[in-house]
């Protein structure tokens, strides 16, 4: 008997490595169903309410043959791009991740910096010079997964920012990095976390050796030597050479990442991060973008989230906000537009920017008409392909709600508007009216009950007598 109990316990413990813990209960095994809900709702198995997946049946049983029938005959089968055991891949706040999860993410980024991209190469010359001096030597080279991510930003930097395509291009670049890292790790559930930079104040809460690296004790513009990113060197430093010499960035590294959050003494306005209220104001913008569809647009959600307009929408050349302000706050590699992806904080900052974009789509439910089809900067029209992604993909394909069409969502609590003074007064008045109405109704009921008791005490009870010969009643 003891051996039986021991074997059962060992069996259950081993199965934790093969199945989600949520399914490894006696009730779960006996039911044969392993269809967890990403939302925790009993009627949302595998995210079926939002089209993530369905609870899929399996038939017959054997421990290994026709897996996993011996244990479960219903599991999640994810739709489209969705993945994970519950079809609920989530992008999470890195601050809220466990120490083990944080370290795993840091290790994955460092591995991507050192792992050659298995599928794609980068060009090191423009088309006119790409065949080499002999006309037959292609001027291309391999690079690492993370350096390819940096290179795509460098190569397209003049064609992706300051226009409608900023948010769609940015979204796809992050998705490409995430999928490349999923393939590298052999883990389709790997998801890039985000940094909620809209916290106000002058402290960088992720600039610690437990997260993205603290400030060096020996170099105020460097990263702590105790942290792995202090060993990262940047590429693609000379963006001007593309125009002047025809050369394109290669994998040559020049110097370590520089970073000094809130340290630019010459510009006090970039000493503090955006505030939660800035996100609220930006999300209230009803127009996705407005003419001239550039950094000078007003009342444009895109220009506000990119940071060239104030969060409320008005263009102001003296103001930096949201995405731009967060980059400039870092004061170093991350604050230079063509170099910024070299600093891994870029990934988390832009993932949060994408989260704001996706929340705007959820709130306003725009259709394709909201995105300009023409008269935008080069490469920004709705049906134009985004540079330099391969295979080609259009802005239109990224102008969609992520949870429904792209296979991911954000675990995030958005800030809410505080009540105004007039709203507080209105609420108080409504509550008082409801209390008075309730009290009045209660008094009426009490009075009526008292009257009924009084009457019933003086009135004879109703009696009914039936005569056998007929249907005569007496009261």
Which pLDDT band holds residue 408 (cuts at 50, 70, 90)? confident
Among all chains, which residue has been given the structure tokens 């969060």? 311
Residue 464 predicted with pLDDT over 50: no
Beta strands 53-57 and 74-78 are antiparallel
Q: Which residues face 93 on adjacent strands? A: 194
**Residues above pLDDT 90, as percent of the chain:** 38
Tokens encoding 420: 């105004």
Tens digit of pLDDT for each residue in 15-66?
333 567 777 777 876 787 888 888 888 888 898 888 888 887 765 544 555 5
Q: What is the pLDDT of residue 447?
A: 63
For position 454, what pLDDT does the model report? 56
Reported confidence tier of residue 461, pLDDT bands at 50, 70, 90:
very low
User: What are the Cα distances from residue 448, in Å, to 72, 186, 452?
Assistant: 62, 74, 6
197, exposed or middle or buried, with CB in 10 Å at 0-12, 13-18, 19+? Answer: buried
pLDDT at residue 5 above 50? Answer: no
For helices 276-283 and 345-364, give the axis angle rounded to 10 degrees: 40
**Quick one: average pLDDT of 98-122?**
94
Topology adopted by domain 90-410: di-copper center containing domain from catechol oxidase (1.10.1280)
Instruction: Indicate the helix (H) or strand (E) that contains 11.
Output: helix 2-15
- Which tens digit of pLDDT belongs to each residue from 208-255? 988 988 888 888 888 888 889 999 999 988 777 666 666 788 888 888
How far apart (Å, rounded) are the C-alpha atoms in residues 335 and 330?
Answer: 6
Q: Which of 234, 321, 229, 217 is nearest to 269 (CA)?
A: 321
The pLDDT score that the predictor gives to residue 12 is 34
Q: What is the mean pLDDT of the chain?
A: 81
250: nearest Cα among 240, 233, 235, 231: 235
- Report whether pLDDT(422) > 70: no
Per-residue pLDDT, 382:
92
Specify the higher pLDDT residue, 279 or 188: 279
Task: Report whether 55 contacts 165 (CB < 8 A).
Answer: no
Helix (H) or strand (E) holding 444: helix 421-458
- Residues 6 or more apart whose CB falls under 8 angstroms from that of 294 comprise 162, 163, 303, 377
Q: CA–CA separation, 143 vs 119, rounded Å?
A: 10
The structural domains of the chain, with segments of one domain joined by +, span 17-78, 90-410
Residues 6+ apart with CB under 8 A from 427: 419
443 pLDDT more than 90: no
Q: How would you label 443-475 residue by residue, b for 16+ Cβ within 10 Å and e otherwise? A: eeeeeeeeeeeeeeeeeeeeeeeeeeeeeeeee
Mean pLDDT, rounded, for 364-372: 92
Whose CA is closest to 296, among 314, 278, 269? 314
**Contact 210/99 with Cβ under 8 angstroms?**
yes
Contact of 320 with 302, CB cutoff 8 Å: no
Query: Do 273 and 304 meet the contact criterion of CB atoms below 8 Å apart?
Result: no
Phi, psi of 34, rounded to the nearest 5 degrees: -125, 80
The CA distance from 407 to 54, in Å, is: 14
Confidence label for 416 from pLDDT (cuts 50, 70 and 90): confident
- For residue 323, what pLDDT band results from cuts at 50, 70 and 90? very high
Q: Of 296, 300, 412, 289, whose CA–CA distance to 356 is shortest?
A: 412
Please give the structure tokens belonging to residue 21: 């813990």
The pLDDT, as a whole number, for residue 93 is 94
Number of H helices, E strands in the chain: 12, 7
- How far the first Cα of the chain sits from its last, in Å, is 78
Under the banding of pLDDT at 50, 70 and 90, the label for residue 175 is very high
Are 233 and 253 in contact by the 8 Å Cβ rule? The answer is yes
Residue 82 has pLDDT above 70, yes or no: no
Question: Is residue 467 pLDDT above 60, yes or no?
Answer: no
Q: What is the DSSP letter of 122?
A: E
CB 126 within 8 A of CB 242: yes
pLDDT score of 406? 87
Per-residue CA distances from 290 to 295, 309, 354, 380 (Å):
10, 12, 19, 13
Closest CA to 124 of 36, 2, 247: 247
C-alpha closest to that of 109 among 225, 213, 197, 261: 213
């Amino acid at each position: 008997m003891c051996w039986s109990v021991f074997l059962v316990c060992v069996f259950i413990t081993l199965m934790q490595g093969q199945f989600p813990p949520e399914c490894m209960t006696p009730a779960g095994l006996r039911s044969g169903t392993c269809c967890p809900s990403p939302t925790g709702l009993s009627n949302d198995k595998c995210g079926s309410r939002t089209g993530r997946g369905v609870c899929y049946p399996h038939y017959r049983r054997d421990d290994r043959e026709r897996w996993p029938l011996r244990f479960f005959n219903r599991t999640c089968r994810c739709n489209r791009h969705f993945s994970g055991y519950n079809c609920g891949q989530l992008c999470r706040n890195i601050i809220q991740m466990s120490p083990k999860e944080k370290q795993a993410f840091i290790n994955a980024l460092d591995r991507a910096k050192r792992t050659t991209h298995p599928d794609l190469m980068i060009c090191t010359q423009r088309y006119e010079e790409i065949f080499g001096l002999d006309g037959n030597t292609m001027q291309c080279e391999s690079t690492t997964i993370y350096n390819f991510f940096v290179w795509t930003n460098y190569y397209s930097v003049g064609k992706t920012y300051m226009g409608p395509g900023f948010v769609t291009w940015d979204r796809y670049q992050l998705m490409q990095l995430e999928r490349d890292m999923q393939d590298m790790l052999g883990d389709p559930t790997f998801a890039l976390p985000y940094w909620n930079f809209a916290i106000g104040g002058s402290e960088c809460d992720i600039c610690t050796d437990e997260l993205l690296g603290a400030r060096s004790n020996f170099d105020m513009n460097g990263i702590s030597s105790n942290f792995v990113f202090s060993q990262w060197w940047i590429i693609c430093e000379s963006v001007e050479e593309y125009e002047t010499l025809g050369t394109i960035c290669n994998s040559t590294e020049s110097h370590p990442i520089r970073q000094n959050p809130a340290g630019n003494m010459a510009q006090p306005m970039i000493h503090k991060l955006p505030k939660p209220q800035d996100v609220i104001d930006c999300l209230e913008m009803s127009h996705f973008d407005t003419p001239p569809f550039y950094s000078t647009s007003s009342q444009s959600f895109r220009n506000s989230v990119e940071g060239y307009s104030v969060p409320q929408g008005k263009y102001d050349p003296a103001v930096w906000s949201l995405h731009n302000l967060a980059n400039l706050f870092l004061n170093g590699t991350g604050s230079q537009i063509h170099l910024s992806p070299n600093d891994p904080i870029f990934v988390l900052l832009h993932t949060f920017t994408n989260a704001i974009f996706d929340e705007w789509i959820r709130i306003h439910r725009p259709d394709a008409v909201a995105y300009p089809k023409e008269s935008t900067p080069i490469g920004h029209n709705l049906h134009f392909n985004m540079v330099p992604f391969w295979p080609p993909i259009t802005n239109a394909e990224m102008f969609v709600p992520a949870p429904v069409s792209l296979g991911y969502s954000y675990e995030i609590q958005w800030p809410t508007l505080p009540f105004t003074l007039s709203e507080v007064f209105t609420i108080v008045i409504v509550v008082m009216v409801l209390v008075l109405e309730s009290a009045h109704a209660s008094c009426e009921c009490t009075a009526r009950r008292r009257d009924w008791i009084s009457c019933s005490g003086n009135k004879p009870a109703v009696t009914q007598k039936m005569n056998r010969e007929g249907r005569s009643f007496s009261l």
